Every structure is written in structure tokens, then in C-alpha cells.
Amino acid sequence: MRITRWVNKRTGLALLFLAPSLVGFALFYAIPFVMGLIYSFKDRTVDGVFVGLANYQALLDSASFRKAAWNTASFTLISVPLMLSLSLMLALLLNGSVYLRKWLRTAYILPLVVPVASVVFIWQALFDWNGTLNAGLQWFSLERVDWMKSDGAMVVVAAIYIWKNIGYNMILFLAGIQAIPESYYEIACLEGAGPFTRLRRITLVYLIPTMFFVVLMSIINSFKVFRETYLIAGDYPYDSIYMLQHYMNNMFIALDIQKLTAAATLMVASIVVIVLALYALERRFRRFME
């Protein structure tokens, strides 16, 4: 009886402390999402009639939506592997004896705390038609490039995404590397294993759980690059960086709630499928390791 009372008391206290967060999550996330999901199956928001998948069919028939979906998928497929490779290399480098190692760790984290507006101002000054990069090209007698109105716009957005998130991923990889017992490397050295063999057979193998989490966070963060892109290029940027968030933002401005909610639902469904696939792969890997 005492144990039951103690458990009930702790559960009640936990729910009491969690209540503000749960209420906020319900009001600002869960309830609006459920309402949007319902609206995506109606012809209008007020006194709407159920139309089934008609809104989704109209969405898939939209050339703007297809372009936005393709650009978003392309950006994620290109930027996330590049992010993983660079952050892992930095983590391996900073795990060793590097000059000013502690200062470098801090420097890579700083982009996470810098306000978005300040970041955008710096990148605008760098990639503007009269910006720093074009001034350097002109110095070497090369033609200027209108970066945000050419195919180079995707490179700029990918660079912003990597610059802002690479420090977070690097810290996660660094924590995973330092959690690997040093005795594994000592035994491998006694067996005659070289640096590349130790990296492939020990470091990368035991970093797989961390890598799953880093991949998940990188994919989620790739869907958040809209803020920087919107502030740099506006509502209707160059075709190569017209993302799903641009499409939904423009549908909101046009008050086309049905296409907006249908696009948001498809986007959430895609993220859920990716997350479930990653968790399934992680569980399979854990079973294999056991």
C-alpha cells in the first residue's frame, strides 16, 4: 500500500509539473494540427462539406507544389549527407590533440545562439550582387554572380544550413566518440590494427546509435531552413530554392486553407515515415549487436 501511495504521489507531482507544457503543446500544436487535418478533407473551413481526397488530388496536380516538394527532397538528400560527413570529420579532429581545441568547440556552437536576423544580414552582405564575394571575384577579373537568382542559390542555402547546424552535430558525435571505451583501441593496437582499421571497425560501428539520432535531427533541421531562405530571398525565391514551406506560406497568404492543410499533412506524414524507418533500422542494428 505504501509503495502504491508513493508511486501515485510521484505520478501526480510529475503530471502537475508537466501540465503547463502539455497544455501549451495541446493548444498550439496538437489541436491546430488535428483541426488542419480535418479541414484538408473539406471544401471550406466554415460549414465545409466532406470531399474526401479531392484537396490532395488538387495539390498533387499543382506544378508549384510538385516543384516545392522536389526542391525540399533534393535539399535534404544533398545537405544531410554532407552535414554528417563534415560534422563527423570535425568531431574526430577535435577528439585528438588539436591546438585551441576547447575554443574551437565553442566556436562551432556559436551559430546556434546567434539570432536568425543577424545571420541573414551577414549572408546577405556576403552573397549580394554588390557583396563581399562578388567583390572578390571582381578583384580577380571574374564576372559577378547573382547568387540568389541562379542555380548557386541552392549552394548558398546549403552553406547556411551546414554552418548553422554543424556544431550541434559535431558535439553529438564527439560525445559518442568519447563514450567508446579506450580499452577497445588499446586491444586493437596490440593486434596490429592501423588508424583506418580502428576507425572502420571500432569508431564507426559504436557510433551507429549516435548516427541514427544525428541523421534524424539533421533531417528535421533541414525542414527548418525556410526562415533563412525567406529572409534572404522573400516569398517567391529562385526556382531551385522554392521549398514546401514557401508553398504553404503563400497558400496561407492567399487564404487557400485547403491546400495549406493538405500540404502540411503530407509533409508531417513524410517526416513520420522517415522517423519510423530510422527507428526500425536502429532497433535492427541493436539486435544485431546483441
pLDDT score at 204:
83
C-alpha cell read off for 8: 501515485
In a domain, 6, yes or no: no
In a domain, 52, yes or no: no
In a domain, 33, yes or no: no
Tally of CA atoms within 13 A in the half-sphere of 20 that contains its CB: 1
Beta-carbon contacts of 246 under 8 Å, excluding residues fewer than 6 positions away, are 68, 226, 229, 230, 235, 236, 237
Crossing angle, helix 244-253 and helix 226-233, to 10 degrees? 60
In a domain, 103, yes or no: yes
Q: Can you tell me which residue has the cell 548553422?
A: 164
Give the span between the Cα atoms of 122 and 115, in whole angstroms: 11
Q: CA–CA distance from 217 to each of 1, 87, 206, 237 (Å)?
A: 43, 13, 19, 26
Q: CA–CA distance from 74 to each of 210, 213, 236 (Å)?
A: 24, 21, 18
pLDDT score at 9:
65
Give me the torsion for CA of 153, 272, 289, 207, rounded to 10°.
30
Q: Can you tell me which residue has the cell 530510422?
A: 278
In a domain, 208, yes or no: yes
CATH code for position 145? 1.10.3720.10
Q: Give the global pTM.
A: 0.81
112 in Cβ contact with 163 (< 8 Å): no
In a domain, 37, yes or no: no
Give the span between the Cα atoms of 121 and 131, in whole angstroms: 11
pLDDT score at 82:
92
CA dihedral (89, 91, 94, 95) positive or negative: negative
pLDDT score at 2:
56
Give the domain extent around 259.
Answer: 57-289
pLDDT score at 1:
52
In a domain, 85, yes or no: yes
- The tens-digit pLDDT sequence of the chain (290 residues) is 555 565 566 777 777 888 888 888 888 888 888 888 888 888 887 777 888 888 898 888 888 889 988 988 889 898 999 999 999 888 888 877 666 666 666 666 777 777 777 777 777 778 777 778 888 888 887 788 777 787 778 888 888 888 888 888 888 898 888 888 888 888 888 877 777 888 888 888 888 888 888 998 888 888 888 777 877 777 778 888 888 888 888 888 888 888 888 888 888 888 889 888 888 887 887 777 65
Into how many domains does the chain fold?
Answer: 1
In a domain, 47, yes or no: no
